A and B are shown apart, each in its own frame.
Chain A
Amino acid sequence: MSMALRQVNICFAGRQVLRDFSFTVPESGLTCLVGPSGCGKTTFFRCLAGLIEPDSGTAGGLEGVTVSMAFQENRLLPWFDAAENVAFAVNNDRELALRALAVMELSDAADRLPAQLSGGMQRRVALARAWAYNGRLLLLDEPTAGLDEELAGRVIRRFKDRWQDRPALLITHERWLADRFADRIYEASGPPLTLKDT
């Protein structure tokens, strides 16, 4: 059964963010959503991840699906170093965490606290956490914020290669990123969110 949202409605503070919204997650490949802030993309991701219940409509094929997600915010534990932050998502497996940090080119920063890292480095710790978790569905919400173009390209390429047989969705403001890596691109607008296949 494919993962899909059907006729989903979500309202926040009197604002309809998703209205009769339907979307079927492609079986594989990288799908990019490009569009302005506040149009409902993040709400759509949160609904797919099961973090919010729709007011009405159904989320099918998502029960029990493990989700690797890089949130819009880094959501790092300020009390723990980079490796511990990554390990937190994988039963405190530090070896696995260190490997994920190496993929994100952060081996040197493994024992540094979030406050001792730059914004871009913190972002990569959050990405390493999603990488280490290795879920069935990958959701990346503005993953390259704070990264230079070259590094952003390398990081996204690695995610794309690893998730080539699994569905991966990415929200970005950077059109070049979508043009270079996406298998499918949707232009997002709203609220309520609408996705236009380009």
Chain B
Amino acid sequence: MKDGGLNKVKSVARALAVLAFWLAVWAALAALVHKELLLPRPDLVLERFFALLVTNQFWLVTASSLLRIVEGFALGLTGGGLLALLMQKSRIATALLQPLVQVVRSTPVASFIILALVWIDKPLLPVFISFLMVLPISWANLRAGLENTDRQLLEMAALFRVRRLDVWRRIYFPSLHPYLLSAATTGLGLAWKSGITAEVIAAPRLAVGSELQAAKVNLETADAFVWTLVVAILSMALEKLLLRMMKRGKARYAPEEKA
């Protein structure tokens, strides 16, 4: 077997061992507590998970939440990028918008959810909250990226009258890539956390957060564990997908991959 394949097997084995360890800890704690209401056993949670997995409702709920979070995340990432651009071009825009972004950054998400509940329809609230949480992350990262783009390269491009599109493709995008990556990975995690919190509070129809809230109200702790597990799996899967997409984008610019 080649080294690469062997390493992959080793890494999968290591991940499985870590998973087994934590499942054992969970099982031990559940046995110790011995109350399904407080801490259900892992086999019960898994059983419930597979029972839900075969229902249409499960897929509808999961897909609806996924769509809302992804929408909010994409809007926040794009909006932050546009804000960063606008602030780079205009001092007035910076003076006006910077305090607003700082306020969004430092205000607890629950405050926004409660305020936004007054103005926005329940199904749109998680989208708006995810957007609002991702926006300042994206803005801060991309602003730093724009500021750190090599001025000498931009000056060289100006001298040779390089087209604006080429300047973006060949100078800005490669320079911004690490900043975009950081914004995307941090922002995605935040979008999930804030979006699901918004769903729990607003309880829209067909939402993971609403299911979590229902599980709490009905004292179905195993269901609460299942939905939490679903959020964790989706969040990690989406992050992996995003990283893969960005890596593919970077391959066009990364020296080590061309070498």
Contacts and interface: CB of A to CB of B under 8 A. Distances in A.
Interface in A71-120: 71, 73, 75, 77-81, 88-92, 113, 115-116
Contacts of B158: 51
B225 to A, nearest CB: 46
B156 A71 contact: yes
Contacts of A49: 159
B156 A79 contact: no
A75 B253 CA distance: 16
A115 B152 contact: no
B159 A69 contact: yes
B153 A79 contact: no
B153 A129 contact: no
A50 to B, nearest CB: 8
Contacts of B163: 91
Contacts of B170: 77, 79-80, 88
A62 interface: no
Nearest to A51: B155
A77 B162 CA distance: 13
A28 interface: no
A73 B159 contact: no
A131 interface: no
Interface string B241-259: 0000000000001110011
Interface residues of A, number: 23
A163 interface: no
B258 A88 contact: no
A90 B171 CA distance: 15
Interface string A42-86: 000000010100000000000000110101010101111100000
B24 to A, nearest CB: 47
Contacts of A51: 155, 158-159
Identify whether the interface residues of A are mostly helix, strand, loop, or mixed: loop
A92 B166 contact: yes
B161 A66 contact: yes
Interface in B126-163: 152-153, 155-163
Contact of B160 (A73, A78, A113, A133): A133
Nearest to B153: A75
Contact of A81 (B159, B160, B161, B258): B258
Interface string A5-16: 000000000000
A71 to B, nearest CB: 7
B189 interface: no
Nearest to B158: A51
Contact of B162 (A67, A69, A79, A89): A89
A198 B45 CA distance: 90
A162 to B, nearest CB: 17
A116 B255 CA distance: 10
Contact of A88 (B162, B174, B255): B162
* Residue of B155, B159, B255 with most chain A CB atoms under a 10 A cut-off: B159
A116 B174 contact: no
A92 B165 CA distance: 12
Interface in B156-213: 156-163, 166, 170-171, 174
Contacts of B258: 81, 113
A171 to B, nearest CB: 16
Interface of A: 49, 51, 66-67, 69, 71, 73, 75, 77-81, 88-92, 113, 115-116, 129, 133
25 contacts: A49-B159, A51-B155, A51-B158, A66-B161, A67-B159, A69-B159, A71-B152, A71-B156, A73-B152, A77-B171, A77-B174, A78-B255, A79-B253, A79-B254, A80-B170, A80-B253, A88-B160, A88-B162, A88-B170, A89-B160, A89-B162, A90-B160, A113-B259, A129-B160, A133-B160
Given A49-B159, A88-B166, 9 more contacts: A51-B155, A71-B156, A75-B153, A75-B156, A77-B171, A78-B255, A80-B170, A88-B162, A129-B160
